[in-house]
Amino acid sequence: MKHRPRVLVSACLLGAACRYDGKSQALTELDALLKRCEPIPVCPEQLGGLPTPRTPSERLGGRVISREGVDVTDAFARGATETLQLANRLGVKLALLKARSPSCGSREIYDGTFTGRTIPGQGATAEALTAAGIAVYDESRIDAFFEALKGMDYDSIQQ
């Protein structure tokens, strides 16, 4: 019997109201995902101890700063560590995370000025997962994510 691959998915993309503003960003495209894999919902910011809702934060160099000027780097690092440990325990090789997030952004993030401008870069969790060899995608690359999912060796996923 083939096992469905376990895939990390930002909980907000699955409909959980865990974003900084207390809302979700549910994607209808993920209905197909639920049939093809075992999604593991994560919110690294909550895993790092931050409340929901919370003040928006952006990466600024190696730090994460809230709009109020509070350094929340430690919470983001803790969330990244917790998410990576979970991924490792569950044999996760693929993740679909929220675009532009200071935790989850996989290709670009907000630039730290709170003006809506983006720069190339990764959020703290996406960076940790990528460094550990886990392929990270965001919802703007959902087709590429599904292609990567098709290429996974389902038999190698352990229950």
Q: Answer yes or no: is 62 within a domain.
A: yes
Strand, coil or helix: what is 156? Answer: helix
Q: Answer yes or no: is 98 within a domain.
A: yes
Number of H helices, E strands in the chain: 5, 8
Whole-angstrom distance, CA of residue 12 vs CA of residue 27? 9
Q: Does residue 30 carry a pLDDT above 90?
A: no
Q: Answer yes or no: is 78 within a domain.
A: yes
- Percentage of residues in the chain having pLDDT higher than 90: 82
Q: Answer yes or no: is 36 within a domain.
A: yes
Q: Answer yes or no: is 63 within a domain.
A: yes
Q: Does residue 137 carry a pLDDT above 60?
A: yes
Q: Answer yes or no: is 159 within a domain.
A: no
37-46, 112-121, 125-134, 141-150: least confident range: 141-150
| Number of domains into which the chain is organized | 1
Q: Answer yes or no: is 1 within a domain.
A: no
Q: Answer yes or no: is 16 within a domain.
A: yes
| Pairing state between β 135-138 and 94-97 | parallel
Give the tens place of pLDDT for each residue, 75-84: 999 999 999 9
Whole-angstrom distance, CA of residue 35 vs CA of residue 37? 6
Task: Give the range of the structural domain holding residue 43, as residue numbers without chain letter.
Answer: 6-153
pTM of the model: 0.92
